[in-house]
């Protein structure tokens, strides 16, 4: 079981890196996604084709965007990525992405929550 958790963590980071940092959404779907892809982000359509279309548009509109993974947590068939998203010329975000994997280690479902990183804070702790 521990081996599968570690593989799912690697697959989640690989999936996100290929899509977000390398802007290869079609290749991403081929390599990391299972037979179905259920999307819960209200800005992205459901399914593989909607995913590809959305992230191709994002890649063109926001060149240079990047994500750094700060934490990766796995339990059962879920992986959570805590990330720092850099959007040059725009706001940066703290993100939480949750992925559900099938028995073959393929992504089949996704949820996310984003928060703009503010310029000031009521404390000296970072968001990471």
Residue 125 lies in a domain: no
Task: Give the per-residue pLDDT at 22.
Answer: 96
Average pLDDT estimate for 12-36: 96
Please tell me the distance from the alpha carbon of residue 24 to that of residue 74, in angstroms, as a whole number: 25
Number of domains making up the chain = 1
Task: Give the per-residue pLDDT at 11.
Answer: 97
For residue 98, the enclosing domain spans: 2-116
Residue 127 lies in a domain: no
Task: Give the per-residue pLDDT at 39.
Answer: 98
CATH of the domain at 31: 3.10.450.50
SS3 16: helix
Say if residue 1's pLDDT is above 70: no
């Amino acid at each position: 079981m521990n081996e599968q958790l570690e593989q799912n963590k690697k697959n989640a980071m690989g999936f996100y890196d290929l899509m977000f940092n390398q802007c290869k959404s079609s290749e991403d779907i081929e390599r990391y996604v299972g037979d179905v892809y259920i999307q819960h982000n209200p800005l992205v359509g459901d399914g593989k084709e909607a995913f590809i279309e959305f992230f191709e548009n994002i890649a063109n509109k926001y060149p240079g965007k990047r994500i750094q993974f700060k934490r990766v947590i796995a339990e059962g068939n879920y992986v959570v990525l805590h990330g720092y998203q850099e959007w040059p010329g725009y706001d940066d975000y703290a993100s939480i992405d949750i992925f559900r994997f099938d028995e073959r280690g393929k992504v089949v479902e996704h949820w996310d929550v984003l928060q703009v990183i503010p310029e000031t804070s009521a404390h000296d702790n970072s968001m990471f």
